[in-house]
Amino acid sequence: MKPKTHAVLRITLGFFLFLFFFGCTEDQSLSPTDQNQAKIATINQIAKELDADITINKNINQSNGIIVNSKEEYENLISKIRNQVNDNTTLSLGRLDGSTKMVMSDCADGVYTGTAFDNGLTSLDFDVSVSDGCISGITGGFSGFTFAISYTQGGTQFGCNSGSVCGFINYNVFFESVGTVYREKVCYNISLRCSSNNQ
């Protein structure tokens, strides 16, 4: 090669090396894997600081999750959720009468419904089955606008007139392109308040 060609190649190579080492911002210089690891480290930090149950879930994306764009937004979301779900730990049960008022009928056999959690768009409702005047089963689930939220029922304990049900409210959260599920444990107390006992 001619000396002039060598000089051009050295200048060109030097230019590209300069761009490679100095032309990217700090975030751009991280590989996609490193960027994801940094985001996962932030998620783990949030979980530790707030004693929160957060898991990575590759099935969660912007179309099926609540989108949060910063650590602060995620922390505020958890705080808001905890305030909503922990406000009420007792279910009021009844059947709807004609005026949408809940009433009990001397613990008559049937299924009674109570709302444990309601944010205006979604409600976590429980059906309590009564047989021979005693609780025979408790099941729960969400109704309404259930985007990015679900309920996983855990254990139930009940005697004749009272019981409890525990489970997890699950929130799909898409944090800076990483899918997560935040779970909040909830427990609710249930009492049959029969009209004959309320007098």
- For 160-197, the pLDDT digits (tens) are 888 889 999 999 999 999 999 999 999 988 887 665 44
The total of structural domains in the chain comes to 1
Q: Is residue 158 part of a domain?
A: yes
Taking only the tens place, the pLDDT of each residue in 121-144 is 888 999 989 898 888 999 999 999
Q: What is the DSSP secondary-structure string of 125-149?
A: EEEEEEETTEEEEEEEEEEE--TTE
C-alpha closest to that of 75 among 50, 108, 54, 110: 50
Q: Where are the alpha helices (DSSP H) in the chain?
A: 3-22, 26-29, 32-50, 71-85
Looking at residue 33, its pLDDT comes to: 74
Q: Kindly tell me if the per-residue pLDDT of 18 is higher than 60.
A: no
Q: Is residue 139 part of a domain?
A: yes
Q: Is residue 118 part of a domain?
A: yes
Do the beta carbons of residue 70 and residue 60 sit within 8 Å? no
User: Coil, helix or strand for 178?
Assistant: strand
The amino acid sitting at 140 is G
Do the beta carbons of residue 67 and residue 178 sit within 8 Å? no
Q: Is residue 25 part of a domain?
A: no
User: Coil, helix or strand for 48?
Assistant: helix
CA dihedral 73, 74, 75, 81 (to 10 degrees): 110
Distances 28 to 19, 23, 35, 36, 173 between C-alpha atoms, Å: 12, 9, 9, 12, 24
Taking only the tens place, the pLDDT of each residue in 54-101 is 999 999 999 999 999 999 999 999 999 998 887 667 776 765 444 444
Look-up: residue for tokens 């764009």?
69
Structural domain span for residue 155: 81-191
Q: Is residue 2 part of a domain?
A: no
Look-up: residue for tokens 């944090």?
175
Task: State the burial class of residue 132 (Cβ atoms within 10 Å of its Cβ: 0-12, 13-18, 19+).
Answer: exposed
Q: Is residue 112 part of a domain?
A: yes
